[in-house]
Structure formats: C-alpha cells, structure tokens
Homo-oligomer: A and B are copies of this chain.
Amino acid sequence: MSEKQKVDYSLYLVTDRALSLGRSNLEVIEAAVSGGVTLVQLREKEASTQEFYQEGLKIKDYLEAAHIPLIINDRIDIALALDADGVHLGQEDLPVDAARKILGPHKIIGASAFNVEEAVAAESRGADYLGLSPIFVTGTKPELVAEIGMKGISSLRRAVKIPLVGIGSMNQSNAYEAVKMGLDGVAVVSAICSQEDPKAAAAAIKAEVLRAKESF
C-alpha cells in the first residue's frame, strides 16, 4: 500500500497453536474473523523461520481477502517475506526505531509496554500502537506477575496519544470496562483460540467492545 492504512483495533486475535484445541491457525482465524475480529497477530514462538513463514503463507490470502490486517510477532524478516501489514515487538525484540528503519513509514509497528515509561519511549520511537501487557495476570505468560489493571489503563491513556490495546486475561466480562478506561481494543489469545466456538466467543467480546465505544 502507498500510505498507512486506518486500523480498527477493536478485537485483536493473537494466535497460539498450542492453545487452539488441535485446530489450525487458519481454522481458528476464519471462525474468529467471521465473529468480528478486526486484526490478527501471527505468533510462533517455537517454530523455525521456515515453519513460521509457511504458517504465514497459509493465512495471508484469507486475511487479505477479508481486509483484516496481518501482524507478525517479533520477526520483521517474516513480515517482509510475507508482505504482512506490520509487526508487533516485545521488549525482547528489535527496538522500535530499528524496526521502523527497516520497514519504512507505512507498515504498522506495535510495541509491548508495561508502564508509562515504556509506553512513552515506544511512542517516541515511532510505534503505531501499544500492546499493554498484562492487563490482568494470565496463564499464557506465567513469567509476568504484576498486572496493569483498570487504573493502569487510565494512566497509560493519559501518557500517550497512539491507540492502546490491552492483553492478558481479557475476555467478555472485562472488555467493556477496559475500553471505558481507555483501550482502543482488546487483544486475546485463549479467550478465542481455546474456545469450542471461536466465532461465538469473538462475537461476544466484540459486542462488549462496541457497547463501550458507543457509550462515549
């Protein structure tokens, strides 16, 4: 694309094959998108470069046809090889400014942030959105023990201008309040991937996000 696209961060699916009840990424993604997911991050922490790339090829055509942006976790090389829409960078990944130099001005770069300091730094280095993590403590990332919480969302919202997505035990029951506190959307792994009906799960969370946004 010739300029940066407008992104709807309302419901952001982060994939995890190990948590997908034996289904493929494509199966989960198709169901989740039909339920209302607006953005998909392909995350493959255990795969080789070749496997990660092949996983990306399997889902790219579907997402492109559905006009849903594809974000690649960590790996700028794979994002480039797939011509994905962007990358999401954690604190263990490349710095945002180094990534921006490689990817140019139009690709989406998201960065993880736990506190105001990290959020302000990522914004100043050129991040397009922030993934606040963890909003609540979650089983997916057991090494993280502290949580941002609802009050933390509010502080972070005042500290930066770019869109904020929250991840970490986000689900149907807390999505409304989290968006009211300042999130632009919620990111989920198991609340969609690990559900028997990912479409219905996505639709239920999406309804809460939209209910909060409509109330402003």
Contact = CB atoms under 8 A, between A and B. Distances in A.
Interface stretch (A24-32, A48-56, A181-189, A199-207): A48-56
Contacts of A74: 49
B94 A50 contact: yes
Interface residues of A, number: 21
Interface stretch (A60-68, A75-83, A158-166, A171-179): A75-83
A101 interface: yes
Nearest to A75: B77
A80 B91 contact: no
Interface string A88-107: 00011111001101100000
Interface in A34-51: 48-51
Given A48-B92, A93-B48, A93-B49, A98 B81 contact: yes
Nearest to A57: B98
A118 to B, nearest CB: 14
A173 to B, nearest CB: 33
A38 to B, nearest CB: 26
A49 B81 contact: no
Interface in A93-135: 93-95, 98-99, 101-102
Contacts of A94: 49-50, 53, 77-78, 81
A99 to B, nearest CB: 8
Contacts of A95: 50, 53
A44 B94 CA distance: 15
Given A48-B92, A50-B93, A77-B77, 16 more contacts: A48-B93, A49-B74, A49-B75, A49-B94, A50-B92, A53-B94, A53-B98, A76-B76, A76-B80, A77-B78, A77-B94, A77-B102, A78-B94, A81-B94, A81-B98, A81-B102
13 contacts: A49-B74, A49-B93, A49-B94, A50-B91, A50-B93, A50-B94, A75-B77, A76-B77, A76-B81, A77-B77, A77-B78, A81-B94, A81-B101
